[in-house]
Amino acid sequence: MTIESISMAKALNSGLRKALADDPKVLLMGEDIGPLGGVFRVTEGLQAEFGDKRVLDTPLAESGIIGTAIGLAMRGYRPVCEIQFDGFIFPGFDQITSQLAKLTNRHEGTLSLPVVIRVPYGGHIGAVEHHQESPEAYFAHTPGLRVVSPSTPHDAYWMIQEAIASNDPVVFFEPKSRYWPKGDVQTEASDTPLHSSRVVRAGTELTLVGHGAMLAMMLQAAQIAEEEGTSIEVIDLRSISPIDFEPIIASVQKTGRLIVAQEAPGFVSVASEIAATVTERCFYSLEAPVLRVTGFDTPFPPAKLETVYLPDADRILEAVDRAMAY
């Protein structure tokens, strides 16, 4: 069956519903996720369908949410935590990086912690401080955590189910600016494993890599570049830790040029890691330096300045011009 033209928020809702229906050990927990259905309505209707013991409204205490989820996972449950906004994850940071990421290793692999932490993240919604951040690099840097980010409704539907089925903790970053645009969702079977990157547009002269909300910007830039005579291959990262480098390496060996785009600041970032790895593995294929198009190395600005801060198609195309000049 194909569900046509649903939003990412609805796709996540459908994926969570299926996970709840398939496994009685799956439960959802977070602030305002019950009758309200969450700030972005991703969990709308799920408490009414599965009850308040499977879909739990929690106190406003992110550290308590994560700590409780760790205890539940140790008892055999598969908790899915919602962090209401990206900047609110930091009160739970100690639980995530000091406990959740390390307990399996501490028990020499005998203990699994199948915890999913859903995090709406990124800009483009005109929000206030602590509501438009991109903190994914903190968690990708932490051994013991898996970190992913869907960019389409189809991926959101499948990736949330695959994350819940994982026996390792997964930090699941949801680009909030992509909650509302619609896309087709194929529900017969997942066509791409959770930790796989994917070529979404073929090209021959330059490779463009990014994740989450940046996919839409990259495709827009690639279309404009094609009209101006430059063929760009676009790769959706999908998984931030681990990174599936093979499609990226194969593409750069073909095109000779790479640009990495992200909303997060560029210093010590996911883009930095990709740039370093590709330079190491594709040095003799590169015809130009690897370039990064990122947010600036400053705190996220007030909403009226977000369009200056966030990378867009114009900034990507400026980098394309620089890369093609070599």
For residue 117, give the amino acid letter: I
The helix-helix angle for 246-255 and 270-281 (nearest 10°) equals 60
Peptide bond into 150 cis (omega under 30): no
131 as an active site residue: the answer is yes
Which residues partner with 27 through β-bridges?
79
- Spatial distance between the Cα atoms of 255 and 250, rounded to a whole number of angstroms: 9
> Tokens 């929690």 appear where?
58
For residue 47, give the amino acid letter: Q
DSSP reduced 3-state for 173? strand
45-77 b/e (C-beta count within 10 Å ≥ 16 → b): ebbeebeeebbbebeeebeebbbbbbebbeeeb
> Tokens 């114009």 appear where?
314
What are the phi and psi torsion angles at 306 (to 5°)? Answer: -65, -30
DSSP character for 76?
T
Residue from 107, 124, 131, 154 carrying the catalytic annotation: 131
Q: Which residues contact 39 (CB under 8 A, 6 or more apart)?
A: 32, 84, 85, 120
In this structure, how many other beta carbons lie within 10 angstroms of the beta carbon of residue 289? 13
| Side-chain-facing half-sphere of 279: CA atoms under 13 Å | 13
- Are 141 and 171 contacting, i.e. CB atoms less than 8 angstroms apart? no
DSSP reduced 3-state for 296? coil
DSSP reduced 3-state for 223? helix
Q: Which residues contact 280 (CB under 8 A, 6 or more apart)?
A: none
Query: Would you please indicate which residues are annotated as catalytic (active-site) residues?
Result: 131
